[in-house]
C-alpha cells in the first residue's frame, strides 16, 4: 500500500493545478491518470484559449498542457501514475488503482477528484452506426493521431465544442457540410461561429438530426426543422450526404467515484447534471474529499485551473504542511473565479454553483435511496 | 440575428468602425467582438495601449481610434480571430489565417465575405510568417475599396488537395 | 488517411510498426492506438453488436464507452482506442461478448 498526503484523480487542467499547488506547499502528491499522458482535454485543443492572460489566455491549449506537464516533472514530490485507472474508493479511505493488470492500494490524507466529463449521446435512428462519433473522438483522431476522421462531416451542436471542433476540422482539411443546432440560437461564443461562417460553413438553428443513413457506416444524415416546442416539422426533412456525424451535444460530469465515496450529490442542470455538493473551497460533504474542474460542473479550462488551485491549496492546508498563510491566496483565487463568472456567460453557472452549495433548490431527492 | 447566424449585421459592425475621416487618415483596427465573454489578451497585445484596459474581464474591447496606428500586432493575438486592420488609402485589409496551404505574395485569390461567399478578387500583398506568431499568419490583401468592410476571409484553391 | 501537413500541429511518425487484423497485415506508426491505426487504414467497422449483429466502431475514442472492444493477442474486451500498437500484435474482431480467459 502507498501512503501520501494528497491524491489527485485525473491529470487534466484541474488535477494538474491542484497537484502543483499542493506540491508547492510541500505536500507529497500522487496523480492518477488513465491516459498515457497528462493534460486531459488540453492535449487536443489547438485553438488559443480565452479567459485571463494571467491564467494562460491567448496560448494554445496544447501549449498550456505542455507547460503544466513540464512543471509537474520538475517537482520531486509529485508522483504521476499514467495508464492507471482509479477503480474504487473504500470506507476505510483507501482508493484502489488498476495499472498494468495490477491493483495498487493508495491511502491519502486528502483526495481531489478531477475526473472531468464525458460526452452526452443523442437519440436518433441508426445513431449506433460507425461514423457517428462524439466531438472529442474526432478531435482525438485529428489532433492526437493526425488521422482524417472523414471527408464530409455534419456537426450536431453549436455550443463551443461544436464550433471549435468544426474549425479544427477545417484546419485538418475536412469539409464540414453543416452545423445544426436544436435551439433557436447559437450556444457558443459568437466569434467561434463567425470564424466558421466566413469559411462558408452554414449553421442551421432550430434543426435536429432525425436519422443517420447508411448500411455499414454513415453515408448521409437526415436533418429536420423543429418548432418552438422542439417538435419535428413534417416536410422540412433534408438529407445531407456525409460520412461522419459528429455529436457535440453537451458534457456531463464523471462522478462515479464521488457517488461511491458517499459524497452528497444533487442534480443541477445548470452544471451539466449530477454533481457533488461542495463549499466554496471545493470541499464535498466528505471532509477529506475535494472536487475540481468539469467533475464539479461543466465549464471551461480557466475555471478548471482556478478550481484546481483552490482545492489543492485548501487540501494541503488541512494536511499541515503550509509555508505561508493561505487566506489571502485563497481569496485571490476565489475572486478571480467570481470575476470570470460575472459576465452574461457565467450567469447560468453561477446559479448552478449556488445550488451546489446546498441551497434548497438543489435536486437532491434523486439520491435519497443511497443513504 | 447574430445569435442565429453567427454573422454580425451592419448595425453590429457600425458600432466598431471609426468614422470616414479616421478611415481615410491611415490603417486602423476593427475589432469584431460583439458579446461579453471573459477574455482579455487583446489589451495586452497593443504596443500603443490603444485598447482600453478591462475593468471587468467580460467587457467588450474598446479601441481608441486615435491611438491605434494599424500596426496589426493585435490580429494574431485575439483568441477569437476577430480583429482585422483596414487601410483605406492602400485599399487593403489584413486578416488572421490558420489554414493550409498558405498563399504567396502576388497570388490572386477569392475574397470572401462574412458568409464565406466570394465578393471580389483579392491580391496578396504581404504575409506575416505564422511561425513568428505561434502559427497564426497575418495576410494583407488588396481588394476594391468598396469591399474593405466586407472581405474577411480568402479562399486558396482546394484545401483537400495538399 | 493520415494528415501530412497541418497548420498548427506536427505529427511525429518515426517508427513503422506492422500488426495483423483478422489475418491481414496493417501498417502503423509507433505511438498510434490500435483503433487509430485501423481507422487510418480505412477500417471503421470494428465488430458487430452481440444481439442484433449491427456494425460497431469507435464512439468516444478515449476509453469511456466500450464501443471499440476487440481481441488483442488472445485477450478479449480490449479497449482498442486507448491501447497502443506493438510490433506483431494480433488483433481480431470480437465475436459476441468475448470469452473470459480460463
Residue C87 lies in a domain: yes
Q: In this structure, are A264 and A327 located in the same domain?
A: yes
Please report, rounded to a whole number, the percentage of residues in chain B having pLDDT higher than 70: 96
Boundaries of domain holding A156: 121-247
What cell numbers appear for A230 in the block? 422542439
Residue C70 lies in a domain: yes
DSSP per-residue letters across A169-203? HHHTT-EEEEEEESSSS--S-HHHHHHHHTTT--E
Mean pLDDT for B118-135 is 95
Q: What was the ipTM of the complex prediction?
A: 0.94
DSSP per-residue letters across A12-76? SHHHHHHHHHHHHTT--EEEE-SSSSS-GGGGG--SBP-B-GGGTTTSBHHHHHHHHHHHHHT-T
Q: What is the CATH number of the domain that holds A14?
A: 3.50.50.60
Q: In this structure, are A24 and A64 located in the same domain?
A: yes
Mean pLDDT of chain B: 93
- DSSP assigned state of A218: -
Residue C74 lies in a domain: yes
Residue that is last in its domain, among A247, A282, A315:
A247
Q: In this structure, are A66 and A133 located in the same domain?
A: no
- DSSP assigned state of A143: I
Q: Which residue from C minimizes the CA distance to B160?
A: C3
Q: In this structure, are A163 and A59 located in the same domain?
A: no
- Which tens digits make up the pLDDT trace of C52-77? 999 999 998 988 888 999 999 999 99
Query: So what's the pLDDT on residue C7?
Result: 94
Q: In this structure, are A259 and A363 located in the same domain?
A: yes
Q: In this complex, do B79 and A58 lie within 8 Å of one another by their Cβ atoms? A: yes
Q: Which residue from B minimizes the CA distance to C10?
A: B135
**At A9, which helix (H) or strand (E)?**
strand A2-9
Cis peptide, bond prior to residue B101, ω within 30 of zero: yes
* Number of compact structural domains in chain C: 1
Which residue among A53, A192, A343 sits closest to B58, beta carbon to beta carbon? A343
pTM, entire model: 0.93
Is the sign of the CA dihedral A340, A343, A349, A353 positive or negative? positive
Query: Which is nearest to A311 in space by CA: A327, A325, A330, A336?
Result: A330
* Number of compact structural domains in chain A: 2
CA pair distance A212, A231, nearest whole angstrom: 18
Q: In this structure, are A314 and A257 located in the same domain?
A: yes
Question: With contacts defined as CB-CB under 8 Å, which chain A residues touch C58?
Answer: 130, 133, 137
Q: In this structure, are A109 and A165 located in the same domain?
A: no
Q: Which residue from A minimizes the CA distance to B7?
A: A194
Query: So what's the pLDDT on residue A367?
Result: 67
Query: So what's the pLDDT on residue B162?
Result: 36
Enumerate neighbours of C (3 or more CB pairs within 8 A). A, B
Query: So what's the pLDDT on residue B160?
Result: 43
Query: So what's the pLDDT on residue C98?
Result: 77
Q: Give the distance from residue A89's alpha carbon to the nearest chain B alpha carbon, in angstroms.
A: 37
Residue that is last in its domain, among A247, A275, A300:
A247
Mean pLDDT for B136-161 is 87
* pLDDT band (50, 70, 90) for residue B129: very high
Average pLDDT across each block of 10 residues of chain A; the chain has 371 residues. List them in order.
Answer: 97 98 96 95 93 86 96 98 94 93 96 95 95 95 96 96 97 96 94 96 97 97 96 97 97 94 94 95 96 96 95 94 82 93 90 88 69 54
Query: So what's the pLDDT on residue C69?
Result: 92
Q: In this complex, do B38 and A49 lie within 8 Å of one another by their Cβ atoms? A: no
Q: What is the CATH number of the domain that holds C21?
A: 3.10.20.440
Q: Which residue from A minimizes the CA distance to B44?
A: A53
Mean pLDDT for B135-162 is 86
Q: In this structure, are A217 and A155 located in the same domain?
A: yes
- For an interface test with A, give the residue of C9, C17, C42, C70 to mutate (most A CBs within 10 A): C9
At A98 the three-state DSSP class reads strand
Q: In this structure, are A225 and A76 located in the same domain?
A: no
Question: With contacts defined as CB-CB under 8 Å, which chain C residues touch B96?
Answer: none
- Which tens digits make up the pLDDT trace of B20-43? 999 999 999 999 999 998 899 999
Question: With contacts defined as CB-CB under 8 Å, which chain A residues touch C40?
Answer: 145, 147
Q: Give the distance from residue C7's alpha carbon to the nearest chain B alpha carbon, in angstroms.
A: 6
Residue C2 lies in a domain: no
- For an interface test with C, give the residue of B131, B135, B138, B160 to mutate (most C CBs within 10 A): B135
* pLDDT band (50, 70, 90) for residue B1: confident
Are B60 and B35 in contact, with CB atoms under 8 Å apart?
Answer: yes
Cell numbers 493526425: residue: A146
Cell numbers 506536427: residue: C10
Amino acid at each position: 500500500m502507498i501512503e501520501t498526503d494528497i491524491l489527485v484523480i485525473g491529470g487534466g487542467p484541474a488535477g494538474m493545478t491542484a497537484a502543483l499547488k499542493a506540491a508547492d506547499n510541500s505536500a507529497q502528491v500522487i496523480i492518477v491518470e488513465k491516459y498515457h499522458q497528462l493534460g486531459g482535454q488540453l492535449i487536443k485543443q489547438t485553438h488559443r484559449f480565452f479567459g485571463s492572460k494571467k491564467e494562460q489566455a491567448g496560448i494554445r491549449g496544447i501549449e498550456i498542457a505542455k507547460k503544466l506537464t513540464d512543471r509537474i516533472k520538475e517537482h520531486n514530490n509529485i508522483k504521476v501514475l499514467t495508464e492507471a485507472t482509479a477503480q474504487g474508493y473504500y470506507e476505510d479511505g483507501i482508493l484502489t488503482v488498476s495499472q498494468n493488470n495490477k491493483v495498487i492500494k493508495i491511502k491519502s490524507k486528502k483526495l481531489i477528484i478531477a475526473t472531468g466529463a464525458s460526452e452526452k449521446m443523442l437519440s436518433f435512428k441508426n445513431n449506433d452506426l460507425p461514423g457517428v462519433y462524439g466531438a472529442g473522438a474526432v478531435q482525438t483522431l485529428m489532433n492526437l493521431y493526425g488521422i482524417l476522421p472523414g471527408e464530409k462531416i455534419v456537426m450536431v451542436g453549436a455550443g463551443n465544442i461544436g464550433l471549435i471542433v468544426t474549425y479544427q476540422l477545417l484546419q485538418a482539411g475536412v469539409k464540414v457540410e453543416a452545423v445544426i443546432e436544436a435551439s433557436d440560437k447559437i450556444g457558443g461564443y459568437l466569434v467561434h461561429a463567425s470564424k466558421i461562417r466566413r469559411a462558408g460553413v452554414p449553421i442551421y438553428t432550430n434543426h435536429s438530426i432525425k436519422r443517420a443513413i447508411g448500411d455499414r457506416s454513415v453515408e448521409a444524415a437526415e436533418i429536420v426543422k423543429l418548432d418552438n416546442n422542439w417538435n419535428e416539422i413534417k416536410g422540412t426533412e433534408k438529407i445531407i450526404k456525409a460520412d461522419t456525424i459528429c455529436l457535440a451535444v453537451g458534457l456531463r460530469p464523471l462522478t462515479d467515484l464521488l457517488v461511491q465515496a458517499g459524497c452528497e450529490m444533487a442534480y443541477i442542470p445548470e452544471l451539466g447534471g449530477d454533481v457533488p455538493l461542495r463549499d466554496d473551497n471545493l470541499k464535498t460533504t466528505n471532509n477529506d474529499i475535494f472536487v475540481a474542474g468539469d467533475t464539479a460542473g461543466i465549464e471551461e479550462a480557466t475555471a478548471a485551473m482556478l478550481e484546481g488551485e483552490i482545492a489543492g491549496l485548501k487540501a494541503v492546508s488541512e494536511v499541515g504542511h503550509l509555508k505561508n498563510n493561505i487566506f489571502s491566496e485563497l481569496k485571490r483565487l476565489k475572486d478571480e473565479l467570481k470575476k470570470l463568472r460575472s459576465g452574461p456567460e457565467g450567469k447560468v453557472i453561477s446559479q448552478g454553483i449556488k445550488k451546489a452549495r446546498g441551497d434548497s433548490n438543489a435536486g437532491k431527492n434523486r439520491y435519497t435511496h443511497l443513504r | 440575428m447574430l445569435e442565429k447566424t453567427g454573422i454580425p449585421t451592419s448595425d453590429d459592425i457600425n458600432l466598431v468602425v471609426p468614422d470616414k475621416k479616421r478611415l481615410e487618415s491611415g490603417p486602423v483596427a476593427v475589432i469584431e467582438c460583439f458579446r461579453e465573454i471573459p477574455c482579455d489578451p487583446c489589451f495586452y497585445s497593443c504596443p500603443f495601449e490603444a485598447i482600453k484596459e478591462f475593468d471587468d474581464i467580460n467587457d467588450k474591447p474598446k479601441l481608441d481610434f486615435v491611438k491605434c496606428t494599424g500596426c496589426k500586432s493585435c490580429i494574431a493575438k485575439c483568441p477569437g480571430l476577430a480583429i482585422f486592420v483596414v487601410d483605406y488609402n492602400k485599399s487593403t485589409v489584413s486578416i488572421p489565417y490558420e489554414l493550409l496551404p498558405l498563399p504567396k505574395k502576388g497570388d490572386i485569390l477569392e475574397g470572401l465575405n462574412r458568409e464565406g461567399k466570394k465578393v471580389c478578387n483579392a491580391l496578396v500583398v504581404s504575409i506575416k510568417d505564422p511561425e513568428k506568431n505561434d502559427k497564426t499568419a497575418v495576410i494583407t490583401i488588396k481588394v476594391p475599396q468598396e469591399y474593405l468592410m466586407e472581405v474577411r476571409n480568402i479562399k486558396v484553391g482546394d484545401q483537400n488537395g495538399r | 488517411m493520415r494528415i501530412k501537413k497541418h497548420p498548427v500541429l506536427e505529427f511525429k511518425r518515426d517508427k513503422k510498426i506492422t500488426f495483423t487484423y483478422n489475418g491481414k497485415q496493417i501498417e502503423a506508426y509507433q505511438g498510434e492506438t490500435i483503433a487509430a491505426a485501423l481507422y487510418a487504414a480505412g477500417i471503421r467497422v470494428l465488430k458487430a453488436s452481440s444481439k442484433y449483429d449491427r456494425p460497431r466502431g469507435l464512439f468516444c475514442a478515449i476509453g469511456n464507452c466500450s464501443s471499440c472492444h476487440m481481441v488483442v493477442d488472445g485477450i478479449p474486451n480490449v479497449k482498442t482506442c486507448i491501447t497502443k500498437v506493438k510490433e506483431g500484435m494480433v488483433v481480431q474482431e470480437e465475436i459476441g461478448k468475448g470469452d473470459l480467459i480460463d
